[in-house]
Structure formats: structure tokens, C-alpha cells
A and B are shown apart, each in its own frame.
Chain A
Amino acid sequence: MKLQLSPEDAAFREEMHAFFTTQIPQDIRETVAARRELSKEQIVRSMQAMNAAGIAVPNWPVEWGGKDWTPLQRHIWHEEMQLAGVVPPLAFNASMVGPVIAAFGSQEIKERFLPKTANLDIWWAQGFSEPDAGSDLASLRTTAVKEGDEYVVNGQKTWTTLGQHGDWIFTLVRTDPTVKKQAGISFLLIDMTSPGLTVRPIELIDGSHEVNEVFFDNVRVPVSNLVGEENKGWDYAKFLLGNERVGVAPVGSTKRTLAQAKEYARTAGPGGTSLLEDPLVAAEIAELENDLLALELTALRVVANSADGKPHPASSVLKLQGTVLQQAVTELWVDLAGPNALATGAGEGSDVPDLARTTTPNYLNYRKASIYGGSNEVQRQIIAGTILGLRG
């Protein structure tokens, strides 16, 4: 047992810290620090800065721009990025469709998509969930019927995050309705400018436009856009969702947000006094810090001990507890803002601090965290079934 990082890993951490705090454009980190939404253009510039340095897609195969990093190094990369207030590479590109194409796509499809995916020249949207297929994804109903060298796609996807920016969408579609539901699904890439494809925004409880519905009305897709084999899409999706859970505990960003909340609290009391003098506020912050420490250490245990390729059993704890704490900190922010939390619509000339105005939309927005990527109930099901062997 040993506490210290190896000299190589410590140097790596320094290198990442230096990169993220100096090489990502200042305006992007400032927007994150102000807890404001990033524009599409900022997200693109951020990922391109990382890609130029060769560290946008470290989880990919080396020949496609990946890095031969250990799980611990990948964890350090991810943590230092979040601590520095840098938005991670677009997950749809870097963690989802990229690895699937790299693992299962033909050479032609890899060459066609991977470099542009790594550089965010293509903005990918995710077309998995449907109105009647949420956590039970395999029951999806969007169909793709082969006609000559094209698929004709009909149906509806939903919860398509940032789909309004999307150039392409990777979808799960039903190509064989006659077999067991998991066995008739294919993984199809669709150009979002195709005729018959429409995107409709879904307004969320915080007033934001973040997710969309995507409709497919006789959309014609070349069969060359199929990834891997027809009807093997469920396997690819499971591979993708497995990747989605890795690094899904947002430890670094939650730590940063909590530190920022603490700083805010210093002058948020009546007449500019410190709320940190309030024992209940202090205790809540201390407990959150301790819970975050336990989460971070669990993440470190998982990555430090998963060198043999098998995921550590404790990894399922990360998504569950990670989102619980992420949400708890957004809740703390609203409490610290107090009545100023109501001033969400205040504009120029308002005396309410900018940071207070965004607290409630953030709080409401992050209720999503325990729902997406396998809801926390799904995570409990996995822990109970896979780890504890409790199978109903």
C-alpha cells in the first residue's frame, strides 16, 4: 500500500494541471466559473484545443489519436480538467460514438468519421431513447427497412441532448422485428440534414433548451452508414453504455463547485457577513467535503486497481453517489443564495449577484443527473444483482 503517486504520475498530474489552466482559452474557463452555459462555439474551441495537444480522446486506440495511458492517468486527466473549469470533450463524440466506431466500424467508416469526430468537426447527437424506451432501451421501435442500398428510417427519438447543434446522429434502430427485442437492433449513423429528419426542442423545467425530440419520416440512409454488422447494435450499445459509466462520477467539477460555493458563502450572510459562521451551513459543507473525499478515493481505488482490465466492483458506486453529491451541491447553492435565488430573470442593473441568479436553474437542471446514463435505480439494480447476487 502506498499513498503517494509514483514520480511519473505526479509529473503527469503537474503536466495536466499546467495544460488545463493555461492552454484552454480564458473565456471558456470564465464562463464555467460563472456557472453560465457554454456556447456551441466555446465547446468546439475547447475540444479542439485539447485535440491539437493530442489529449481530446485518450480512451481511443492509439492509431486513431488515443493515448496509451493507465486508468489512473486517464482519471488524473479527467480530474485536472474539471478542477480547472474546463468542459470535458463532448461525450457523444469522445466517449460514445468514437469508441464504437473504432472498435466495430469498417476501415472506411473509421477513416471517414474518426478524425472529424475527435476534432469536433462533426457534432454528434445520440439517438437512443424513445418515448416508450427509456431505461428499458431494448424495447425501442424506430425502424430501418432495407431498400436496395439504403435503409428507410421511420420513428422518433427523444432526450437528444444538444441535438440542436448536431451534424450527425448515431442511432439504434430496429432492423429485425421478428426476433427477441435485443437481437433485432442495428447501429446506424444518420446525417441530420437528411430530408425527413426534424428536430424539435423540449423545454425543460429550468427554462433551458438542452434536449430535443428527433423525428424520422422516411429518412433514407445509405447502408454504408451501418456500423459493424446488422442486428448486432445491442452489443455495440452495451459497449458504449459501459464506457459511459467510466469516469461518470463528476468528482472534480463537484469539488470545484463546492469550493466556489464556500467562497460565495463568505459574504452571503446578512449585510455581507460570512455564512460559514453558521454552524449548520459549516456542518453541511464539511459533510459534503467528506462525502466527496470518500467518492474521490473510491474512484481512485477503482482506477488504481483495474489495470488487469476487469472493472472494480466498486465502480458501480461512482455513478450513483457521484450524482447524489453533484445534486446536493446544486441544492446547497440555492440555500446559500437565499431569497436572491428567485432573481433568475434579473438583467442589467440588478443588484443581485450573477452567481445567485443561476442557482435555481442549475438545481432544477441537475435533477437530470440521477436519471441519465442509467438512472440511479438502475444502478441499484446492478449493485444488488451483479455484486450482491440478489436476483429477483
Chain B
Amino acid sequence: MDFTLDSEQTALRDAVRGLLGKAYDSSETRRQVTKTDPGWDEKTWQRLAEMGALGLPFAEEDGGFGAGPVEVAIVAEEIGRVIAPEPYVEAVVLAGGLVAAAGTAEQRAEILGALAEGTLVPAFAHTEPASRYSETPTVTATTSGGAWTLTGVKEPVLGGGRADLLIVSALVEGGTGLFLVQPDAAGLTRTSYSTFDGGRAARVALDATPATPLGAPGADQSAVIATAIAGAQIAYGHESLGAMAFALETTTEYLKSRKQFGVPLMTFQALTFRAADMYVSLELARSTVTWATLVQLDGDPADLHEAASRAKLQVSKAGRHIGQEAIQLHGGIGMTAEYSVGHYTSRLTAIDHALGDGRHHLTALSRTIDGHTIVDPLP
């Protein structure tokens, strides 16, 4: 058992931290970037590609670098530290993960190679207005003479407006299929809008829109979707850890420097005890998320979904706690758009509600308690 980064992983972390720290030297820079579409910086995305960060999880023959979940975690955590708006988890981990798992060799090489190079940004169009976190879509896929078309609405689709390629989940006979939809496809209408955390989402309407099956035509890809979502849930956990760590650091610094009644705020135990509790929440979340990553790395694949749920639940609790307290301990300044912490709380809230919030995962876990005596984290 080992919870530490090796020297190559540490070097990767330092490189990504350096790059992103420069790109987002202040929350004001991020605020400017998120004001204009697509809500993130194409140049920063290109630099991440040049560094190799965008191809990390993909096999070398698919144009990637054959790294694993730990390396992905490192990048995601650094994204979270500066709440970089680039869609790393959404495009690389989730959409890319689907292609890597379900795509034909040809599709993998074409899409993942371009994704790794930064020239193609895909989005996973899965959520529907009435789906909540259900895995089963209402968008339908029909085939006629070997050609497929999709009909229905996906919304909100994160990054769906800017995406160079949509991966759409749709009902097929016997399950849920995955389809590739080109941005200029007939009958496709994308309406993009801002999300509260500075991101973008879109309504994606499909009206007999031509689509190409991802992988075997008509196959049920439910298991692939569930696995890709678990990977993204864990990566989101790391993004949240980065954001929570920064929010706590900023809050701590503020308590040291801000004076009221002629003394620093840290004079007041009512405040420092709450900061201590934030630290406890952060460390507990870090433990569970790191463990889930290790389950993904070398644990039993059958344990992955439960591990991801456990991580998402712990992060949901910690993110709400730390996000709320970071604002409260700052006072009024924490409410302003000019100051950083509110944006962190905002981003943590967005992540919480992507791919299942804490309550969703608690419900799922509460249905499994009868199946084990104790929870043993070791294989």
C-alpha cells in the first residue's frame, strides 16, 4: 500500500501546476476568460496538449500516452486548484473515456489522437431535462438500411455548444447505444448558454439527425457508460480536492491577515475551530478519493462503481461544507465576484451536481448495505 506520488508523477504535477498557475494567475483572469465563448482558453488547452496532459489516459496506439488514473488525478487536481475552466474531466476523461472503451480501432485512433493533440474537443450528450441521474435515455436511435438517426433532446450538455463532436447516448433495442454526431449534422440544433460557475452548457435537439454508432452498431453500451462515468466521478473528486484545498488555504490566509476590532480574525476561536473542521473534511475526502483512484488503478473492476460512489458522496459533503464555510469565514468580501472564494464554492456546487450528487450516491449506497458485513478498503 502506497499513497505517495513517484518522482515522475511529482514532476507531472509541478509541470501542470506551473502551466495552469501562469494561465490563471488570479481569479480575475479566469473571470475574463469565462466571459467570452467558449468559456475557456484555446491557447491554454493547446499548451496542455503540448505537455501531453490531454492524451494521458489513452493507449499509445490510439495516439495517447498510456498513463493511468493517478496521472489523470494529478491533472484534475491542478485544474481544481485554479478552477481552470478548460473541460479536462468532461472532454478527456468522460467523452474520451467512452471512445477509448467503446470505439473501433479506427474511431479510437481518429478521435483520441486529435483529442490528445488538442484539435478536437468532444462532449458527452447524456443528461436529459427529465433524466436526473438516470442511465437510461429517452432519445431514440433508429436504423434504416444501415444508416442511423437520432431524435430527442439532451440538456444540459456541458460544453455541448463548442464541442467538435458529440457523443450521444440513445435508446437502442436491448439497451443504450452510443453515437457520434458531427456538429454540422442535419437536424441538429445546439443552443449554448452560461452556467453559474462560468462554464457553458447547451440544449442539444436532435431531429432525425444522422449519427454513426460508436463501436458495434446497435450494441448496448450501458456498461461502458457506467465505467466511463465512474472514472469521471473520481476525476471530478480530484478536481474538487484541488478546489477545496485552495479554498481552505485562502480562508486561512484571510483569517491571519484580516483585522477587526484591532486584532487578526484568527484571534477568535469561533472562527479558527471552523477552519479546523474544514481541514478535517478535506483530509477525509482526500483519503476516500485517493483510495477510489487506487481501486481504479489496480483493484477489482467490479469494485469500481461503488468506490466512485463512495468518493462522490464524501466529496459532496466536504465540498458543501468547505465551500459554504469559506464564504462565511471571509464575510462580505466572500460574496463578491471580484474575490476568489465564491467562484470556488460555485465550481464545487457545479461538480457536486454533475454525475450524481451526494444524496444520489448515498441512496445508491444505502441499497447495498445488506450485501456486506463491513466495508474493507483493502483487496
Residues of A within 8 A of B (CB): 1-6, 9, 13, 72, 83, 255-256, 258-259, 262-263, 276, 279, 282-283, 285-287, 289-298, 300-301, 304-305, 314, 317, 320-321, 377, 379-381, 383-385, 387-392
Contacts and interface: CB of A to CB of B under 8 A. Distances in A.
Contact of B1 (A83, A300, A320): A300
A295 B314 CA distance: 11
26 contacts: A2-B297, A3-B1, A3-B294, A3-B295, A3-B299, A4-B1, A263-B373, A286-B362, A286-B369, A287-B313, A287-B362, A293-B310, A300-B1, A301-B3, A305-B3, A305-B4, A314-B283, A317-B279, A381-B269, A383-B279, A384-B272, A385-B272, A388-B272, A390-B256, A392-B267, A392-B272
A389 B252 contact: yes
Interface in B252-293: 252, 255-256, 266-269, 272-273, 275-277, 279-280, 283-285, 287-288, 290-291, 293
Contacts of A298: 283-284, 287
A129 to B, nearest CB: 22
B5 A1 contact: yes
Nearest to A301: B3
Contact of B369 (A3, A9, A282): A282
Contacts of B374: 83, 255-256, 258-259, 289
B131 interface: no
A1 B299 contact: no
B332 interface: no
Contacts of B367: 282
B287 A301 contact: yes
Nearest to A2: B2
A317 B286 CA distance: 12
A294 B365 CA distance: 15
A390 B272 contact: yes
B280 A4 contact: no
A388 B290 contact: no
A390 B363 contact: no
A262 B368 CA distance: 12
B279, B313, B368 — which one has the most chain A CB atoms within 10 A of its CB?
A: B279
B48 interface: no
Given A3-B1, A387-B279, 9 more contacts: A1-B297, A287-B362, A287-B366, A290-B365, A293-B288, A297-B287, A300-B1, A305-B4, A385-B272
B310 A392 contact: no
Contacts of B283: 298, 314, 317
Contacts of A282: 366-367, 369
A362 B366 CA distance: 25
Contact of B269 (A292, A317, A321, A392): A392
Interface string B133-176: 00000000000000000000000000000000000000000000
B379 interface: yes
Interface of B: 1-6, 9, 70, 248, 252, 255-256, 266-269, 272-273, 275-277, 279-280, 283-285, 287-288, 290-291, 293-295, 297-299, 310, 313-314, 362-363, 365-370, 373-375, 377-379
Contacts of A301: 3, 287, 290
Contact of A2 (B267, B298, B368, B370): B298
B2 A304 contact: yes
Given A5-B1, A286-B366, A294 B284 contact: yes
Contacts of A379: 276
B371 to A, nearest CB: 11
Contact of B276 (A258, A295, A388): A388
Given A1-B3, A391-B266, A290 B313 contact: yes
A245 to B, nearest CB: 15
A179 to B, nearest CB: 29
A117 B295 CA distance: 43
B1 A286 contact: no
B306 to A, nearest CB: 10
Given A297-B290, A301-B3, A3 B273 contact: no
Given A301-B3, A314-B283, A4 B276 contact: no
B280 A317 contact: yes
A262 B369 contact: yes
Contacts of A293: 288, 291, 310, 375, 377
Contacts of A83: 374
B4 A1 contact: yes
Given A294-B314, A305-B3, A286 B273 contact: no
**A-B CB proximity, top 7 nearest:** A297-B287, A3-B294, A286-B366, A383-B276, A384-B272, A282-B366, A294-B284
A255 B372 CA distance: 12
A285 B363 CA distance: 11
Given A259-B374, A296-B377, A392-B266, A286 B293 contact: no
A310 B291 CA distance: 22
A385 B70 CA distance: 32
Contacts of B252: 388-390
A305 to B, nearest CB: 6
A377 B375 CA distance: 29
A384 B276 contact: yes
A292 B284 CA distance: 10
B294 A2 contact: yes
- Most B-side CB within 10 Å, residue of A282, A286, A298, A317: A286
Contacts of B288: 290, 293-294, 297
Contacts of B3: 1, 300-301, 304-305
